[in-house]
Amino acid sequence: MFIDMHVHPDFYGSINGDKERLEFRHRVLNIHKNGTPTLQHIFNQMKCAGLDKLCLLPQDYTTVEGAATVTNEEIKKIVDQAPDQLFGFASVDPFDSNAVQSLEKAFTELGLLGLKLNPSKQKYYPADPLLKDIYDICEKYDKPIIFHSGLSWEPGTLSKYSRPIEFEELAVSRPKLRICLAHFGWPWVQETAMLMLKYPNVYADTAILYFDNAKEFYTQVFTKDIPSTWIDRSLRHQVMFGSDNPRFEQIRMAQALNHLGFRESTVELIRGKNALEFLGRPL
């Protein structure tokens, strides 16, 4: 099974009937040259990339942007249209007084499988006491968290809040909480590798914000910045495939994964088996 653990459905046609809402999403995400695809188009893209399932990620920026780019309810709406191919995470705004209640609803009523947070956008550190109750809910329901980490191209973000080393206190204080450092924490990929080696509850995805092409950038990061043996021997159970679609095309990143010299068994783990472990349940 091939799973893309990092997809933003902000421009899916089924949730974009409002022009102003669409323009809001373009501005906040700093993505401007895409259309509003139908689910059939999404499925065609998946087929070209060899993907079986997508994990859809919302982002609740209510206190800094006035709204979520995609709400938990919209995620649920999309997933319900194709539950065999799509599953969704929740997002809450940690500064919202209703965040805990919203998250509990997302897990218990909407059936969402985890939480997505972006410290860089809202300018808090992962170990901030502000998030204690949110982390408690995730542990209560055994739900993982995907954090933005490293560089963000979204306007108004500060990368210092999502530098990988800032997640160590959270990793050590909550060893049962599974966390994923999205984008492999680039450019601090060795910090990410260090945390993964030290803490088995720390994962990373491959949705790196490349600026050349996927094959060249993956080769640089996963064979030079991090020797390929680090992943192939020591970190192979903690890396998940992610594309950051629609910012990047899934097919290019899926193909690039096959040119890194990893063992076939390692590629299989990255393509899907690790994601199932991260989620804590078979799909």
Block mean pLDDT (10 aa), the chain, length 283: 97 94 93 89 96 98 95 98 97 97 98 98 97 98 98 92 98 98 98 98 92 89 95 97 91 93 97 97 72
- The amino acid at residue 215 is K
Domain count, the chain: 1
The whole-angstrom distance between residue 269's C-alpha and the CA centroid of its chain comes to 17
State which H helix or E strand residue 196 sits in.
helix 189-198
Model pLDDT, residue 269: 98
50 backbone φψ class: left, alpha, beta (φ>0; ψ -120 to 50):
left
How far apart, in Å, are the Cα atoms of 1 and each of 78, 115, 261, 270?
A: 21, 22, 20, 10
DSSP string covering 95-108: TSTTHHHHHHHHHH
Domain encompassing residue 101: 3-279
| CATH code, domain carrying 62 | 3.20.20.140
